[in-house]
């Protein structure tokens, strides 16, 4: 699964910069449960499920940022760029 590879690269980059993170790749149904239970700080969607962003935003109710990963970063499995994107979202 390409998403799992991206997660691994994000974790590898976080470890390289001594950043403690918990990153998971989840199915939409499982993610909804974690969002409802406030178990996540940010939600990143792969480009292939970008159409589900409004649904996920409705579940999140503004409690955490929800965004779609840039196609170029997803396609190249650029874990550093995606991690930096997530961190910027957390700072907003």
Report pLDDT for 92. Answer: 86
The tens place of each residue's pLDDT in the chain, 92 residues long, gives: 589 999 999 999 999 999 999 999 999 999 999 999 999 999 999 999 999 999 999 999 999 999 999 999 999 999 999 999 999 999 98
**Entry pTM:** 0.92
Split into its structural domains, the chain has a count of 1
Report pLDDT for 48. Answer: 94
Taking CA atoms, 74 is separated from 4, 46, 62, in Å, by: 11, 7, 24
Report pLDDT for 1. Answer: 55
What CATH number is given to the structural domain containing 6? 3.40.50.2300
State the residue range of the domain holding 82. 2-91
Whole-number Å distance between alpha carbons of 89 and 16:
20
With left for phi above 0 and alpha for psi between -120 and 50, is residue 19 left, alpha or beta?
A: beta
């Amino acid at each position: 699964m390409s998403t799992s590879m991206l997660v691994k690269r994000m974790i590898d980059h976080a470890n390289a910069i001594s950043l403690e993170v918990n990153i998971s790749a989840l199915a939409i149904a499982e993610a909804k449960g974690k969002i409802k239970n406030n178990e996540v700080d940010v939600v990143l969607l792969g480009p292939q499920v970008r159409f589900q962003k409004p649904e996920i935003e409705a579940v999140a109710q503004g409690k955490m940022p929800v965004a779609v990963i840039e196609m170029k970063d997803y396609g190249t499995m650029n874990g550093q760029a995606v991690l930096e994107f997530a961190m910027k979202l957390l700072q907003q």
